[in-house]
Amino acid sequence: MSTKVSKIAVMTSGGDAPGMNAAVRAVVRACVFNNIECMGVLRGYQGLIDNELIPLDSRSVRNTISRGGTFLQTARSEAFRTPEGRKKAYENFKANGLDALIVIGGDGSFTGGMIFNKEFKVPVIGIPGTIDNDIYGTQFTLGYDTALNTVVEAIDKIRDTASSHNRLFFVEVMGRDAGFIALNAGIGAGAEEILIPEENLGIERLVESLENSKKSGKTSSIVVVAEGDKTGKGVFELKDFVEKNMPEYDVRVSVLGHMQRGGSPSCFDRVLAGRLGVKAVDLLLGGQSNLMVGINNNEITAINLEKAVKLHHDINMDLLRVADILSI
């Protein structure tokens, strides 16, 4: 493990998230600071297979900190799931004189990195980048804070029109497996009810809650629904259900969709990106590998990549009580 690292590859992989550019910038500048070289891999693992790499220096990442998306682009690679694909990737990796890899992405991207490390002894560090915040080993993933603000700003706008018309809105937000966005943005947007994958309250509870809202004098309501909620109904079915059972409600649906993935990163995400990127390079230069960097208790930490992939980042169930109280 103690081969000296002198040229690092960095890639973004899986779903894009705000702050990925800022993290690439941090990796690049930490390399320059430490007098080592850095290359960017385009389109994730597929770019390694296709030998699409670009040299990166301080100036290449100028003015990227404020940009959403990832200028290295990202993709899912079927080829990298095959031994042949990975062999090709490794050959390009060596041909470019690289000796370590930093992967910015989520679970799937880290799994790819672990296999690459196992098969070819390439030092790998993961940086958690996903708006879903569902990665074990870090309290916050890159892009999550930005997505929360995007969702809250959108629902603030929807609230304007809901209040003007005394309407009930079902607002679907991202989160197929985890309710972080729905729960926190729901509280932030003052939602009357929040439906998340982690809790199956049943449709009856929703009806009851809406009836209580109405009794307490609320004339409009916002229900935030995570993609993966457990009522067994999508937002459009929820609309139909409420319209049938509570005909006094004028119901609308809004699916926020992919705009949640974009936008200029928040200050929190930019600073986090900087700290994680610098730490990732520090770890490689210290001879370490197979770690995911993260933020915990406001400090940058590192855990085993395997642990990050296997374990589950649970939402804070106390927030459900807070949400209930605040929607009274």
Active-site annotation holds for 177: no
CA distance 151 to 159: 12
Cβ distance to a copy of itself smaller for residue 84 or 208: 208
Report CA Rg, the chain.
Answer: 22
Q: Which of residues 148-207 bind a copy of itself (CB under 8 A)?
A: 148-152, 154-166, 169, 184-185, 187-190
Tell me: is residue 66 an annotated ligand-binding position: no
Which of 16, 99, 132, 229 is flagged as catalytic?
Answer: 132
Question: Per rule CB under 8 A, is residue 23 in the interface with a copy of itself?
Answer: no
Distance, C-alpha 95 to centroid of its chain: 32
Tell me: is residue 167 an annotated ligand-binding position: yes
| β-strand partners of 195 | 225
Cβ distance to a copy of itself smaller for residue 3 or 166: 166
Least Å distance, CB 323 to a copy of itself, is 8
Chosen residue from 16, 132, 198, 227 binding a copy of itself by CB under 8 A:
16
Residues sharing a CB contact under 8 Å with residue 310, sequence separation 6 or more, in sequence order: 136
Q: Which of residues 33-52 bind a copy of itself (CB under 8 A)?
A: 33
Stretch that binds a copy of itself, among 11-19, 87-95, 102-110, 305-313 (CB under 8 A): 11-19
Q: Which of residues 124-143 bind a copy of itself (CB under 8 A)?
A: 139
Q: Is 139 exposed, middle or buried, given 0-12, 13-18 or 19+ CB atoms closer than 10 A? A: middle
Q: Draw the binding track, 58-97, toward a copy of itself (x: CB under 8 A; -: no contact).
A: xx--xx-xxxxxx--xxx----------------------
DSSP secondary structure string for all residues of 189-255: TT-SEEE-TT---HHHHHHHHHHHHHHTT---EEEEEETT-TTS--HHHHHHHHHHH-TT-EEEEEE
How many other CB atoms are found less than 10 A from the CB of residue 312?
Answer: 9
Tell me: is residue 299 an annotated ligand-binding position: no
- Which residues are catalytically annotated? 132
